[in-house]
Amino acid sequence: MKLGRLIAMGLVAWLCASSTAFAASLARLIELKGEVSVLTQGDADWHPAREAEELSAGDAVKTGARSEVTVARHDGTTVALLPFAQLLIEDERGFLLQAGRVWSHFTKALGAPFFIRTPHATALIRGTTLGVAFEEERSRVTVYEGLVEVRDRAERSQDVAGGFRVDVDRMGRLQRLERAESRELDEGRTFRLRRGLERAESRGVERALVTGRGGRTMREDRQIAGAQRDLRRLGRQERQELRQQRMDKVERRLEDAAQRVRQDQEDRRERRAEKLLEKLRGPGR
């Protein structure tokens, strides 16, 4: 009886531990290439990563030279680490990028948005494809498809649509919205092609053509509208900067003119003083 009771207690403990470990798993590693390491929360040393290794909150992943790996969440979200990148899984909503660059595709968020943050900035995501890069001098968020809200340390925010990017400097200050470089968009396109996302979108466009939407899906319409808003916002920023530059130039000219007037007044006073001294001395002195 005692032996049976001990076996039963051990089985219950094993089942509880297994269920807890399964429940804590938030993602797994796929598409390992090269040197990839994992730091499990609570451990002091990194260990070599394994294909399909489960990851929980607090675990970190890093890649070496010519190495890549993809973190696949159970909801379909994928985050691909490029060489020399390091990523920490914070919780079921997001990640902390500690070094390097990643490209990611997030499924549609229900409730609070997903996020990828760096020491400089936070990208709030509700379903999109984006790249995030972190280095000592800046963080950069590049959006390939969808719309992302980027916040800096002071909680200033900027909406970034597909085809655009924004930087946050080392002091945590949001910079001006810019068009993404073709090299960056090519990286995003390659990331999507490897996961079949571009093919799925193409089928959506074909269905739209059949239904008479002029070759555009509702998602593409929203992207175009968002890009147009960003262009208008960018135009306003440029006009404000131009006005400020003109005002600065006018102020410099006024200051130069005032300086010349002050100098002329000083010169006139000196000449008057010299003439007055000559009169006081009188002739022959």
Look up tokens 């973190």; give the residue. Answer: 71
The pLDDT of residue 165 is: 96
Q: Which pTM value belongs to this model?
A: 0.64
Q: Could you tell me which residues are beta bridge partners of residue 215? A: none
Q: Is the pLDDT of residue 15 over 70?
A: no
Q: pLDDT digit string (tens) for 54-106? A: 999 999 999 999 999 999 998 999 999 999 999 999 999 999 999 999 999 99
| Nearest-angstrom CA–CA distance, 76 and 55 | 15
| Nearest-angstrom CA–CA distance, 113 and 119 | 19
The pLDDT of residue 20 is: 41
Please state at what angle helix 197-211 crosses helix 182-194, rounded to 10 degrees.
90
The pLDDT of residue 247 is: 80
Q: pLDDT digit string (tens) for 221-277? A: 566 666 666 666 666 766 777 777 778 887 888 888 888 888 888 888 888 888 888
Who's near 47: CB < 8 A, 6+ residues apart?
A: 37, 38, 39, 40
Identify the CA nearest to 38 among candidates 51, 48, 28. Answer: 48
Record: fold of 24-195 = Jelly Rolls (2.60.120)
Residues 31-48: b if buried by 16+ CB within 10 A, e if exposed? bbeeebbbbeeeeeeeee
Q: pLDDT digit string (tens) for 105-158? A: 999 888 889 999 999 999 999 889 999 999 999 999 999 999 999 999 999 999
